[in-house]
A = this chain, B = another copy of it.
Amino acid sequence: MVRINDNYLKLRGSYLFSTIAKKVNTFVKENPDKEIIRLGIGDVTRPLTPSITDALHKTVDEMGKAETFRGYAPDLGYEFLRNAVSENDYKARGCDIAPDEIFISDGAKCDSGNIQEIFSVDNSIAVCDPVYPVYVDSNVMAGRGGEYNEITEGYSDIIYMPCVIENNFAPQLPAKVPDIIYLCFPNNPTGAVISKDELQKWVDYANENGSVIIFDAAYEAYIRTEGVPHSIYECKGARTCAIELHSFSKNAGFTGVRLGYTVIPKDLERGGVSLHRLWARRHSTKYNGAPYIVQRAGEAVYSKKGKKEIKGLVDYYMNNASYILDGLRGAGYTVSGGVDAPYIWLKTPEGMSSWEFFDHLLINANVVGTPGSGFGAHGEGYFRLTAFGSHENTKRAVDRIKAL
């Protein structure tokens, strides 16, 4: 008789964004006349730029001709894309990352969910609280969570690092050393960043203790403040303790196109085993490459014209961020984030829980945001808005919230 993976039964409710989608769908069905503005999920709204669509059209034509058709992609991704990533995202920033240390994938969500597989089930993990749910849920599914505690609203075996207004949303080095540390800066959901000096402390801590940092850099394109690191490899010693995740979703608008990459330096070993080799084996066994046409679209992101267009997209969303920040501040809300990140993190009004504020906004302003408590116990009393809407909708949403 087959037995199921019991760890799945320890998961709390369903995935946060599925829950939100269901709530919104129900509201829409019951209120067909209301016009909903969605600033909840981190999904972009601007169309793909001309460089991207040109690259896609061109390669679709290639795929339609026998002479230029391409089947299975190379395991690690096409060299043209790995070269472009190495040059632009690393060497141009003084980071020593070679093309064959880059694994192309169909997105950072898959990679951030799958990366834990190469580690033993008995490792301890540490996450920021609040946190992007995938880090926690993928580890609970694998058996690293322990039991869920209703009182602390957390899993017994996970080390939570509170990120709250009092510590400026920056986690402290944990007293009990974790084996695996998930960090995401610019942060989802708080929009906080940390300086290069602060990040260096984490790298040193990991190297001293033999821990591995999984650094999610999905939002690095939104950094505007000098001295905020775009990559963990800007820190000394990161090659021996850090794995970095990247996405094309938020800079180039690829949420519906699907492309990302993971960096594992060849120097990164534990117990004498190369983590690069383990991930390469996972990739070649359980994955079959991102579509050729999508990898070419990724390459176009790094062209001169592509870069200019992508900057335009990021600027567009960051204008929204400023509008939300200023508007909510003016309306008396306590807000943070939104300067080096497309997320605005606000304190809910006195006495209102995150989900109460979610319902309040949905019902009274017809605006969808994300309850902070959905990201962890220390997200309770906070709320996330994203800058990924259109200008018009963002403006209208802010005006509606101000009018409440």
Interface residues of A, Cβ cutoff 8 Å to B:
1-6, 8-9, 11, 14-15, 17-18, 41, 43-50, 52-53, 56-57, 60-61, 63-66, 68-73, 75, 106-107, 109-110, 113-114, 117-123, 133-134, 137-138, 141, 179-180, 209-212, 253, 255-258, 270-271, 273, 275, 278, 281-282, 284-294, 390
Contact = CB atoms under 8 A, between A and B. Distances in A.
Contacts of A61: 53
Given A63-B256, A113-B285, 9 more contacts: A2-B180, A2-B211, A3-B179, A8-B282, A45-B71, A71-B255, A107-B288, A109-B288, A137-B285
A53 to B, nearest CB: 4
5 contacts: A52-B64, A113-B286, A134-B285, A137-B285, A258-B289
A378 B321 CA distance: 62
Given A110-B287, A287-B110, A73 B256 contact: yes
A48 B120 CA distance: 42
Contacts of A14: 281, 284
Nearest to A180: B2
A46 B285 CA distance: 25
B18 A278 contact: no
A119 B271 contact: no
Given A2-B270, A258-B290, A294-B291, A282 B141 contact: yes
A14 B76 CA distance: 14
Q: This chain: how many copies in the complex?
A: 2
Contact of A47 (B65, B113, B284, B285): B65
Nearest to A210: B1
Contacts of A57: 57, 60
Contacts of A211: 1-2
Contact of A5 (B9, B17, B49, B119): B119
A5 B117 contact: yes
Nearest to A107: B288
Nearest to A67: B47
A273 B3 CA distance: 10
B179 A1 contact: yes
A388 to B, nearest CB: 8
A270 B1 contact: yes
Given A2-B119, A18-B75, A212-B2, A66 B50 contact: no
Most chain B CB inside 10 Å of its own CB: which residue of A2, A63, A122:
A2
Given A3-B179, A66-B47, A15 B285 contact: yes
Contacts of A50: 64
Nearest to A288: B109
A3 to B, nearest CB: 4
A66 B44 CA distance: 11
Nearest to A65: B47
